[in-house]
C-alpha cells in the first residue's frame, strides 16, 4: 500500500464516524438539508487538504467542528435566513383565498431522520424539531453557533470560545442573549408533551384514514384548538381549528386520490403525500397531548426522493 493510500485509509477511519453528526450540526445552522449536505462535503474536502497539518493537538471531532463552524459562518454571511410561513407575518384570514406560491423565498427544509445523527433526534433543545430549527434561523449567526455548541452539543464555554475566537465571558453573554431570544420567539419550544406510544400510533392512524377519505369532520376532532397549518413555498399559513378545517375543506374537495406514506423527519412523525400517484408534499406533524398541534406540509415533489421514495407510485 502506498503512502497516499495509507493516508486515505487513516483519514477515513479518523473522520468518517463524525459525518452524520456534522450534517445535523450544519442543518441546524443553515436550515436546509441540501445546503448542509453540500457544506459537509466541503468540510471533508477542506479537512483532507489540511490533513497533513493535523498534528492531533485537538481531537479529530474538535478539528472537524472547527472547520464546519467556520464554513457555516461564512455561508451565512452570503445568504438570507431560511423561514417558515409563520415567520413572515400574521396568519391568513380567509382559508378559501390561498395565494400563489413564492419559490424565491429561502424556505426552511425538513431533514429525514435516517440522514441525521441518531443522537440528535431527541426531544427539547437538543433535537432537530422544526420549531427549534425555525427559531434558530432568527438568531444572528454567531449566537446560533454558540447556542448549538453549548446547549445542543454540550461543549464547554472554553471549547466554544476557542472554536469561535471569543473569550469565555463573551460566549456566556452570547448564550444568554440567544436563550432569551428563543424564549421570546417560542416559549413552548421545550414543551413537547407527545402522547404515549399506543396513543400516538392510534392518533396517526386516525389522521391517515381521515385525510385519505377527505373526512374533514374526523380531521377536526384530531386537531388542537390552536392548531397551525403551513404549506411552504406558499407564504399563507393558518391558525386555529376552524381556519385549518376551512382550508382542508377547500383543498380536499374533488375526486383526487390521496395516499399518505409514513416517514420520519426532524425526529417527528411525518408522511409523504401522493396525489393521484404523484409525489406532492412531505407533511411533518407536531403532536401535543392526544392531538395534532401543527402540520407543516412542504409542497415539493422532489422531497420524496430525499426520503427514499419514488416520485410516482
* Residue 3: per-residue pLDDT: 45
In this prediction, residues 17-34 reach a mean pLDDT of: 94
Q: In what order do the strands lie in the sheet with 234-239?
A: 234-239, 223-231, 291-298, 278-288, 268-275, 258-265
* Residue 124: per-residue pLDDT: 47
Label residue 152 by pLDDT band (50, 70, 90).
confident
Phi, psi of 236, deg, nearest 5:
-70, 140
**Could you please report the per-residue DSSP string of 186-238?**
-TTTT---PPPHHHHHHHHHHHHHHHHTT-HHHHHTTEEEEEEEEETTEEEEE
Give the lowest-confidence range in 54-58, 190-194, 230-234. Answer: 190-194
d(CA 245, CA 95): 8
Label residue 194 by pLDDT band (50, 70, 90).
confident
Instruction: Say whether pTM exceeds 0.85.
Output: yes
Taking each continuous run of H as one helix and of E as one strand, the counts in the chain are 12, 6
Output the CA–CA distances (angstroms, integers) from residue 188 to 22, 184, 218, 252, in the order listed: 27, 10, 27, 31
* Residue 117: per-residue pLDDT: 66
Label residue 196 by pLDDT band (50, 70, 90).
confident
pLDDT digits (tens, 9 = 90+) for 263-301: 999 999 999 999 999 999 999 999 998 999 999 999 999
Measured distance between the N- and C-terminal CA atoms of the chain, rounded to whole angstroms = 47
d(CA 224, CA 131): 17
* Residue 119: per-residue pLDDT: 58
d(CA 181, CA 178): 5
- For residue 234, the cross-strand partners are 231
* Residue 18: per-residue pLDDT: 93
In this prediction, residues 246-259 reach a mean pLDDT of: 92
Phi, psi of 285, deg, nearest 5:
-105, 140
In this prediction, residues 52-70 reach a mean pLDDT of: 85
d(CA 241, CA 220): 7
Is residue 204 over pLDDT 70?
yes
* Residue 118: per-residue pLDDT: 60
Is residue 5 over pLDDT 70?
no
Residue pair 167/157 in contact (Cβ under 8 Å)? The answer is: no
| 3-class DSSP assignment, residue 271 | strand
Mean pLDDT of the chain: 90
* All domains of the chain in start order, with CATH: 1-79 (1.10.1740.10), 197-306 (3.10.450.50)
Output the CA–CA distances (angstroms, integers) from residue 189 to 125, 264, 271, 274, in the order listed: 7, 19, 22, 30
Percentage of the chain exceeding pLDDT 90: 70
In this prediction, residues 203-232 reach a mean pLDDT of: 97
| 3-class DSSP assignment, residue 281 | strand
Is residue 192 over pLDDT 70?
no
* Residue 123: per-residue pLDDT: 41
Amino acid at each position: 500500500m502506498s503512502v497516499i493510500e495509507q493516508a486515505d485509509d487513516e483519514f477515513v477511519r479518523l473522520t468518517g464516524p463524525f459525518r452524520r453528526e456534522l450534517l445535523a450540526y450544519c442543518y441546524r445552522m443553515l436550515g436546509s438539508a441540501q445546503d448542509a449536505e453540500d457544506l459537509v462535503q466541503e468540510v471533508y474536502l477542506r479537512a483532507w487538504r489540511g490533513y497533513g497539518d493535523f498534528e492531533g493537538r485537538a481531537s479529530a471531532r474538535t478539528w472537524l467542528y472547527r472547520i464546519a463552524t467556520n464554513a457555516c459562518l461564512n455561508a451565512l454571511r452570503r445568504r438570507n435566513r431560511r423561514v417558515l410561513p409563520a415567520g413572515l407575518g400574521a396568519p391568513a384570514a380567509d382559508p378559501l383565498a390561498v395565494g400563489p406560491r413564492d419559490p424565491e423565498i429561502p424556505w426552511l427544509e425538513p431533514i429525514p431522520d435516517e440522514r441525521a445523527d441518531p443522537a440528535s433526534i431527541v426531544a427539547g433543545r437538543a433535537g432537530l424539531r422544526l420549531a427549534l430549527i425555525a427559531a434558530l434561523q432568527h438568531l444572528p449567526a454567531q449566537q446560533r453557533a454558540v447556542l448549538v455548541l453549548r446547549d445542543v452539543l454540550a461543549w464547554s464555554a472554553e471549547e466554544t470560545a476557542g472554536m469561535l475566537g471569543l473569550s469565555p465571558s463573551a460566549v456566556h453573554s452570547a448564550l444568554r442573549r440567544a436563550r432569551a431570544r428563543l424564549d421570546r420567539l417560542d416559549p413552548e419550544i421545550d414543551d413537547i408533551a407527545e402522547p404515549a406510544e399506543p396513543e400516538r400510533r392510534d392518533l396517526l392512524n386516525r389522521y391517515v384514514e381521515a385525510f385519505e377519505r377527505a373526512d374533514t369532520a374526523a380531521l377536526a376532532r384530531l386537531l388542537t384548538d390552536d392548531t397551525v397549518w403551513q404549506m411552504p413555498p406558499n407564504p399563507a399559513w393558518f391558525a386555529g381549528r376552524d381556519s385549518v378545517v376551512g382550508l382542508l375543506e377547500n383543498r380536499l374537495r374533488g375526486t383526487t386520490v390521496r395516499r399518505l406514506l409514513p416517514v420520519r423527519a426532524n425526529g417527528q412523525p411525518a408522511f409523504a403525500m401522493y396525489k393521484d400517484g404523484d409525489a406532492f408534499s412531505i407533511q411533518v406533524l407536531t403532536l401535543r397531548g392526544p392531538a395534532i398541534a401543527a402540520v407543516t406540509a412542504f409542497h415539493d415533489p422532489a422531497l420524496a426522493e430525499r426520503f427514499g421514495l419514488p416520485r410516482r407510485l
